[in-house]
Structure 1
Amino acid sequence: MNEADHGAVAAKPVAGTPPLGRWTKLAFGFGAVAPGVTTGGFEFFLLIYYSQVVGLDARLVGLAILIALVCDAISDPIVGYWSDNFRSRWGRRHPMMYASALPVALGFFLLWSPPEGASQTALFWYLLVLAVTVRTAITFYRTPSAALTPDLTPDYGERTKLLSLRYFLGWTGGNAIAVWMFFILFPRSATETIADGRFNPDAYITYGIVAAVVILLSILIGSVGTHSRIPYLTPAPPKRRFTLRLIFGELFETLANRSFLALFAGAMLFGIAAGLSSGMSLYFFTYFWGFSEIETGMLFLGTFVAALIGFVLAPIVSRRMGKKRGAIIVGLVAFLGAPLPIVLRLVGLLPPNDDPFVFWFVLVAQIIDVGLIICFQILFAAMLADLVEDSEIRTGRRSEGVFNAAETFVDKSVRGIGVMAASAVLTLAVLPTGAGVEEVSADTLWWMGAFYVPLVLALWLTMIVLIAQYQIDEATHESNLRQLGR
């Protein structure tokens, strides 16, 4: 391995790196709240807000979200490659992380304050421009921040623990906003003319303000809290003259890793399925199950328990089964169980919605299922982190940013397809725009579930088949570290 072969020799991390302190771990974990809040806004609230509250055609909402995510995804590999090679006195990652804070927070606030009385065309462009701004700006935080993981610890098991904390705080922080909305904001937003606070536009203005502040704090804490580790992070490679041929050649060489391709293809299908299920979730809670704001809030409150399940379970599964085998087993249980309550309703095995059993059954099923999905996501992220050393041996470069950017690239670019699929399900089921719960027929609700279940199952199960091709286990990782002298 030499510079003539690969254009640059991978820089060595600083020797004698001190162990991670508790504050650094917590700050790194809390930094995931900002992506969690923005993702929650886009996946859970944006479609139903703009289509059912603002009155923009659901197909235009889905199209705007799709275009925004594709534009954002294009920036991912650029930001990832740039952050792998960026040279500054604050290292490769932190300048971009700091620079993203204000654009993300301000753009997210404006997203929930569209102009009153605007035409369908004006609303579409307003949504599109701000969605592109927010999604692109969050890339400049999420990609460099996530790329810190392999540098913070090279240990196979410690990476899973660190990512467990990050996912736990990201999920709980992001969902705390949703719980507050359903337990406090929406009930207090009900008026004589708008009986259901979920359909009051003023509630979403307040949401935009609170969420923007949380996003700003998360990015700043995640950046400042890991700032002290800059001297111990792998520095940028030596200066060289960048050409398009060099950039695309290195990107192709890095991403040609067979194990990465397995994760890349799996992430593509997971992103579509996640966009579909997230886009449909509030429709199922509100129309299919007929849950109130408080009941829906309790479902989001259950996510705290689910996040704890994933946080505790992932390191245990990684240690006893290995990351790949554990991800496959946990994923199969989670993804087969996810649509179970809907299936039981479609075949007539659940009582009517006014029976209290229905809510508690859905709540318990969702807590268990989301907990397993979080565990799967942690294991998946840890598998991705272990690619860094394997790729470094093959290419002579550390490409944390490229790997994370590629994963988020496919997640963002295809998640919009999932949202479009959700809007297609609503169109096929003939759900009226702006309809109240009592205005939707039983036939429409049945078809909504019937179109959704086979589609989401096919996506999830095909993804499991693809990630089975991943080849790095603990023994391979330890061998890679020995070859690199670490």
Structure 2
Amino acid sequence: MSTEAAPAEATVLRAGPDQPSLFTRLAYGVGAVANGVKDNGLAYFLLLFYSQVIGVDSRLVSLALTLALVIDAFIDPVIGYWSDNLHSRWGRRHPFMYAAAAPVAIAYFLIWNPPVGWSEAHLFVYLLGTLIAIRVCFSLYEIPANSLAPELTSDYDGRSSLQAFRSYFGWTGGNAMSVFMFGVLFPLFVTKAIPNGQFNPKAYGVYGAIAAGLIFIAILATSAGTHSRIPHLKAPPPKRKIGVIGIFREIFETLSNRSFIALFTASVFGSIASGLSASMAFLLYTYFWKFTSQQASLITSGVFLSAVIGAVLAPIISKTIGKKKGAIIIGLIAFLGSPLPIALRLSGVLPAVGSDFNFWLVFWTTVFDVGLIICYQVLSGAMMADLVEQAEVRTGRRSEGVFFAASAFIGKVVNGAGIIIAGLILATAGLAKGADPASVPEATVLKMGMLYAPTIVTLWMIMLGVMSTYSITRDGHEANLRLLAERKSRELDATLQD
């Protein structure tokens, strides 16, 4: 079982009725627009809006973000288990998805339209409350929606295709809102009193209304678009009485899986690396490369092309060399290539800072590296989906929600670690807050690059090393499907005999 080649009998299985149509894959994917818009707004604009525009202490804003994230993280496993065991005429997942649409949209609108004239303490409570509402209500949608992937198809490559659609819409939707903010809204709200639209609170109020509408539409679109598949989805286990201890015992039993532990641990280092990369991106553009805001905006726009590259490449990699091998190879190329321009500048082989060559080198490196990173994320997400059948063989339970909730949990808990590391790098390099790029000493800039590049590469290499212990291949997945089919056949025969 060391090869990734598909046996003949696997082809028959993959041609089964559970292969979703193009419409279903599009409907499933478009729901990730909600993820992209929400994540983009909270990550890039919320701190700026509340601290610089509204006037709340940035430490209080960061505290509110952290508290909401931690509270949500510990609720995720409960939501996952609940959605795995829900009995309803609309199946296990869709009731949560439909129910979350309006509350998420309302909370997202409210967070960008805070009350006027409130004290800082009251605004902090308001921010914390709306953040918790957004996080928890969105988890009610996101975890069941992610859990749909292994239910919509058991096909090894079909799952990569589903994840590719979802990843494309998520990256594109989130990035589109950033471009819209900088290219349309902020310029639109420039006034004599407020010459920079980024500091006009009305811009964020309009953004909140548009973003909330997109989130609402995206959630309903994916819920309604996959509704016809409900009769073909997996049924919940029979109703039973089980206490809190029993629930957590089952969750622990489900997650006690070597391949899951490999993905779980890899995601720890991956989440830290992602937080570090996101925190340092615009700082590196500004100080290390001395790019203008227009150049930084153009690099951001390049992510639209990256999303296409990642979404198209992932299913091809899955079919040709398999998910695990493909994720490791693609990851090595992407994660070693990403800091390459920094290493070249530190080595003194690039032209002087500010040259067009440096900009286009970083632009195209970023486009292709982000595309490869998206491909990696698609493959690793599909690998998570393949754990479901392996766990079902061992425990007799379908636990999609538990797996995806645990994955979300670790991403939220360690999300801030990358930001902390970024702060340490800046402090060690000696970069002052609000420093003018033209006045920062060259030694400080070079030290920032020398600290960042090896740190990010080390985190990524540890992540890939841990992922190498994941053991489910194409053959192993097909074997699990056969075992489950045989078990179901025996259970049916026993029922008929009774």
Q: Which moved more, 1:200-209 or 1:112-121?
A: 112-121
Deviation at 1:27, TM superposition (A): 0.8
- Cα distance between partner residues in 2 of 1:386 and 1:346: 42
Whether the aligned pair in 2 keeps the contact of 1:259 and 1:470 (CA below 8 Å) is: yes
Aligned to 2:391: 391
- Cα distance between partner residues in 2 of 1:339 and 1:215: 34
Q: Which moved more, 1:443-452 or 1:166-175?
A: 443-452
Q: How does 1:273-312 map to 2 (within 5 A)?
A: 273-312=273-312
Q: Which moved more, 1:124-133 or 1:273-282?
A: 124-133
Q: SS at the partner of 1:307?
A: helix
1:213-247, Cα deviation, whole Å (9 max, x unpaired)? 11111111011111111111111110100212220
1:379-429, Cα deviation, whole Å (9 max, x unpaired)? 001101111111100000010000111111111111133234444545555
Q: How does 1:87-98 map to 2 (within 5 A)?
A: 87-98=87-98
Aligned to 2:459: 459
Q: Which moved more, 1:435-444 or 1:317-326?
A: 435-444
Deviation at 1:61, TM superposition (A): 3.8
Residue 461 of structure 1 aligns to which amino acid in structure 2?
A: M
Q: SS at the partner of 2:302?
A: helix
Q: 1:361 to 1:49 in 2, by over 3 A?
A: farther
Residue 275 of structure 1 aligns to which amino acid in structure 2?
A: G
- Cα distance between partner residues in 2 of 1:360 and 1:371: 16
Q: SS at the partner of 1:375?
A: helix
Q: How does 1:232-381 map to 2 (within 5 A)?
A: 232-381=232-381
Deviation at 1:193, TM superposition (A): 5.4
Deviation at 1:102, TM superposition (A): 1.8
Aligned to 1:176: 176
Aligned to 1:63: 63
Residue 277 of structure 1 aligns to which amino acid in structure 2?
A: S
- Cα distance between partner residues in 2 of 1:345 and 1:149: 43
- Cα distance between partner residues in 2 of 1:114 and 1:406: 32
Q: 1:59 to 1:421 in 2, by over 3 A?
A: farther
Aligned to 2:11: none
Aligned to 2:208: 208
Q: 1:259 to 1:129 in 2, by over 3 A?
A: same
TM-score by length of 1: 0.89
Q: How does 1:394-413 map to 2 (within 5 A)?
A: 394-413=394-413
Q: Percent of pairs identical after alignment?
A: 51
Aligned to 2:223: 223
Alignment coverage as a number of residue pairs:
471
- Cα distance between partner residues in 2 of 1:245 and 1:275: 34
- Higher Cα radius of gyration: 2
Residue 258 of structure 2 aligns to which amino acid in structure 1?
A: R
Whether the aligned pair in 1 keeps the contact of 2:271 and 2:415 (CA below 8 Å) is: yes
Deviation at 1:20, TM superposition (A): 2.3
1:64-118, Cα deviation, whole Å (9 max, x unpaired)? 3222221111111010000000111111111111111122222222333345676
Residue 342 of structure 1 aligns to which amino acid in structure 2?
A: I
- Cα distance between partner residues in 2 of 1:319 and 1:340: 29
Q: Which moved more, 1:463-472 or 1:180-189?
A: 180-189
5+ residue gaps, structure 1, are 1-15
Q: 1:424 to 1:48 in 2, by over 3 A?
A: farther
Q: What value does the CA root-mean-square deviation take over the aligned residues?
A: 2.6
Deviation at 1:438, TM superposition (A): 5.9
Deviation at 1:22, TM superposition (A): 2.5
Q: How does 1:81-160 map to 2 (within 5 A)?
A: 81-114=81-114, 121-160=121-160
Aligned to 1:9: none
- Cα distance between partner residues in 2 of 1:165 and 1:186: 30
Whether the aligned pair in 2 keeps the contact of 1:56 and 1:120 (CA below 8 Å) is: yes
Aligned to 1:23: 23
For the pair 1:39 / 2:33, whether they are aligned, the reply is no
Residue 246 of structure 1 aligns to which amino acid in structure 2?
A: G
TM-score by length of 2: 0.87
Q: SS at the partner of 2:485?
A: coil
Whether the aligned pair in 1 keeps the contact of 2:266 and 2:466 (CA below 8 Å) is: yes
